[in-house]
Structures are given as C-alpha cells and as structure tokens.
Structure 1
Amino acid sequence: MLLLLWEKWFGRSSPSVSIDSPGETLEQTVIAAQQGDAQARDDLIRQYQPFIAKTVSRFCKRYIDPSRDDEFSIALSAFDEAIARYSPDAGSRFLGFAEKVIVRRLIDYVRKDQRHRLAVPYSALQGDDEDQGSLLTRVEIREAVTVYEKERLAEDRRDEIAALTEALKLYGVSFGDLAIQSPKHQDSRETLLGIGRRLAANAALFETLRQKRQLPVKELCEAEKVSRKTIERHRKYLIAVALIADGGYPFLRDYIGLSQSGKEGER
C-alpha cells in the first residue's frame, strides 16, 4: 500500500520498502567512537568482523579469508571509514551505511585492479578455453558491479522513504494523506515543489515548521503571494516537500525533481 501511495504522490514508481533496523545501542556506540572513544572503535571493528567478511563474500561471490585476501583488508578499512563518517541524521542505520561504504570501496578496488583488463577486444573472443574462462570472469565482474550499483541505489531510496515516513509522523502526516493531497497536474506539482523548496530555504519559516510542527500558513501565503486556500489544501504535501528539500534526503530530492530547478530559494 505504501508503494502505491508513493507512486500516486509523485507520479512515479518506487522500489519496495524493507528495512533492517539494528538496535539503538549500536548507533550510540558509533557516536562514542566518533567522539574519541578508542575502545568503542576497537570493539566495533572486532565485533563486526563477521559482518564485514560476510559483506565481502557476498560481493565477491566466494569465501573470503580475512588473513589472506586483500578484499577483506579493504573492507576493514572501509568499515573504519564508515564509523568516522556515519551520521544518524542521514536517515539510515549504521550497518546499512557501513555496507554501502564497504561495497563502494570494493567497487573502486575492482575497477582499479581490472581497469586495463576490463576492456574486451573482439579478438579476445577467439582465444582458447582458458582465455575464454578468464574473459567470462572479467565480463561477469563488470556486469556484477553494474547490477550491484543499481541495487544499492534502490536500497538508498528505500532507506530514505522509511526515514521520511518516521519523520512525517511527527507532523501527523501519513503517505495516505499525501496521496489524497497530491496535485493532479504536472504544472501544479511543480508549483508546489517550488513553494516547498523555498520554505525549506527560508530559515525563519522552516524553523517555525520544525519547532511548532505546523505549517506557517499566513507567512507562507504572504511570501509566496498565493491564497490561503491553496496552502491549506496542500498543507501536508508542502510539509513533506519541505522536509525533503531541507537536505536530509538527497536521493529523494533528486527523485522528485527538487535538484533540477537551480539554486535553493530561486523563483
């Protein structure tokens, strides 16, 4: 149902939502490590080595020996990087974020290591059986990386949809509400996206929205030169657009077109 409402709201299809949610303790430990708790960092790296190895094995499609394989060392470094870079405000849990960082670093490694071999000349298709096997392996790696990147992008969007769903609850807004208030015409949708984007860019009005959990209707009408009826009719829709436009949902910003109209606040 959530997916159907999302499609009706934005007029586009969206991937299914299935989010794993680790406990709060993990995220708190990560924050402690970021604040200089060396023991917390060491404990995280030691405790989650099986998770790291599993992520690498899934990516490489083979068993990974932590003591011998370079891929594990790269993933271990990426996990440490994830600890340093993680922000709970980004809308995802730490393990999901860490997996993305690990996979991206592995992709970089594969590209660098295979760069001169990934180009497949036509003449190579006429090699012997051993060459053919090597060639197929390189092609499979390239295709696997492409597919994995697409899957990770879809998962990023699913994470943000789940995070946005939770954020909207604070304002008494559901996806069902958004589907009902969704503008029926493209020009109306673009107009409301612009209003929501400028609301997020207006520090005073957006702070009012965040503090009071209510749309500053009167001030927004004056700033946008639109009728109160228009703002009231699409109140929940504008709240959702403003939250996305504020910057905590980068993939959704692109997905609904908020990043395609120039600078923030531009009319």
Structure 2
Amino acid sequence: MQINISVHNKIYTDADDLIEDYIPFIVKVISSITHRYVSIENDEEFSIGLSSFYEAICKYDAHKGDFLPFAQLVIRSRLLNYLNSEKKHAILDSLDTEQAINIEQLKVEYLETTLDGVDLVAEEVQVLTTVLQDFKFDLVSLCTEAPKHEKTRTNAIDISEKVSKDQPLVDLMYLKKRLPITRISLKYNITQKILKGSKKFIITVIIIFDKNLRNLKLWIRK
C-alpha cells in the first residue's frame, strides 16, 4: 500500500517498509502491556499488534500529531480489548488502571461538549499520556497539582497557548523534557514563581495545543 508517513525524519511511501522497520516497536508496545516475552511466530498478541499497526497506518492523519504515539494508542486499544475478552486483564498494572479511570472520567464529564465523540476523547487522552511519560509525570499527579483557582488556571492556559505558538520554545521543551522557565519568563515578562507554581499544568496544555488535541482543548477551557 502506498503511503506518505514521516517517522523520525524518514518519509515512508510503502506500508510494508514501515511495518518491517517498526516490528521491534510493535513488540515493545505489546510487551509493555503483557509484561512477558513476545513470540513473533506463535503469539496471538503479536498478530493483533501487527494488524493494529497496519490499521494505524490506514487511519493516520498527520495533522493530529506524530505517527508512533497514534500507532501505540491503536495497538494498546486493540490488545486490551482482546485481553479483556480472554479474561486476561489481570496482567494490567496499576498505572494502566489509573489511566483507564481517567479516560472514563473524561468521557463522562465532557461527553456533551466533545467535538468528535467520546471515542476520540479516549484516543486524545492516550496520546497525551504517552507524551507526558517523557516529562516524568502522569495525569494522576497532574490532577493533584493543577491550578485550583479559576484566575490562576485561566492565566496558565493563556501562557501555555502563547508558548505553544513559539516553536523554538516548544522544541526546547521537548528536547530538555521540562518547561524552559527562564526563557519564558524573560520573553513574556512572567514571573518564574507563576511558571513554577503551574509548571506541570502548563506543560500539559502546551502539548494539547501543539498536538492539536481538539477535544482536550474544550476540557482545559471548561
């Protein structure tokens, strides 16, 4: 199948080439869920992961973010459905459970306001969760440390939106895996105290804007 997908600065025009290069990625995603060795020849889980990766290739939209986080989302979703149907969900660790709870909470809370439906909310939460792993925190810790006062929250969102449009700052954030507090403070005349007080929330909102997670934009504004 002819495609046009960029992964790590390499343009793939043939689906088979992309699949062949990223079989180790597929195996790694499956192993992270099953917590065991994956046999390419014999495991049903690998067959599901492979077909899910192909499904991700077919459904991928470059305007909604990078390919690999999306592919990981599709593989996880299909594999978890399979494991649950086979009564194997006991292998899931506590983090998987916490993430599932957060997704379900978002589904219920924002069902009436989502642009694309509840399934895309779950997909966007998973994409966000994957990116946040690089910054060494998750949605659970974010919920406890997000700004509580409406004015502080609104101010943090406004700061995040400005920074998300400043590509050098965004690139630096991804490179350093932290918020470039000093540079943001100097460029936008914002005190470091304000930035430090909401840094996890600001990082999260920058990612939401940068990855164009449209339904989650509604969530942060709610």
Q: TM-score with structure 2 length normalisation?
A: 0.51
The structure with the greater share of residues assigned to strand is: 2
CA shift digits 1:70-125 (9 cap, x unpaired): xxxxxxxxx99x7275447265349959xxxxxxxxxxxxxxxxxxxxxxxxxxxx
CA shift digits 1:32-71 (9 cap, x unpaired): 8x9443878xxxxxxxxxxxxxxxxxxxxxxxxxxxxxxx
Given the superposition, is the C-alpha separation of residues 180 and 31 from structure 1 closer, same or farther in structure 2, using an over 3 Å criterion?
Answer: same
Given the superposition, is the C-alpha separation of residues 205 and 153 from structure 1 closer, same or farther in structure 2, using an over 3 Å criterion?
Answer: same
Tell me, yes or no, if structure 1 residue 171 matches structure 2 residue 135. Answer: yes
Partner of 1:89: 66
Distance 2:139 2:190 in 1: 25
CA contact (8 A) 2:129 2:139 kept: yes
- Structure 1 segments of 4 or more deviating over 3 A? 29-32, 34-40, 84-88, 90-97
Distance 1:95 1:205 in 2: 27
Q: 2:219 aligns with which of 255, 263, 266?
A: 255
- Residue 31 of structure 1 and its aligned partner are, at CA, apart by 6.7
* Unaligned segments of structure 1, at least 5 residues: 1-28, 41-78, 98-149, 259-267
CA shift digits 1:165-194 (9 cap, x unpaired): 111010112223212221112121111001
Partner of 2:189: 225
Partner of 2:168: 204
- Residue 159 of structure 1 and its aligned partner are, at CA, apart by 0.9
CA contact (8 A) 2:135 2:178 kept: yes
> What is the root-mean-square deviation in Å for CA atoms of aligned residues?
3.7
Which letter does structure 2 place at the counterpart of 1:225? N
3-state SS, counterpart of residue 136 of structure 2: coil
CA contact (8 A) 1:157 1:252 kept: yes
3-state SS, counterpart of residue 170 of structure 1: helix
Distance 1:95 1:225 in 2: 38
* Unaligned segments of structure 2, at least 5 residues: 6-10, 18-53, 76-113
Identity over aligned pairs, percent: 19
Q: How many residues of Structure 1 are paired with residues of Structure 2 in the alignment? A: 139
Partner of 2:14: 37
Distance 1:187 1:204 in 2: 27
Q: TM-score with structure 1 length normalisation?
A: 0.43
Tell me, yes or no, if structure 1 residue 187 matches structure 2 residue 151. Answer: yes
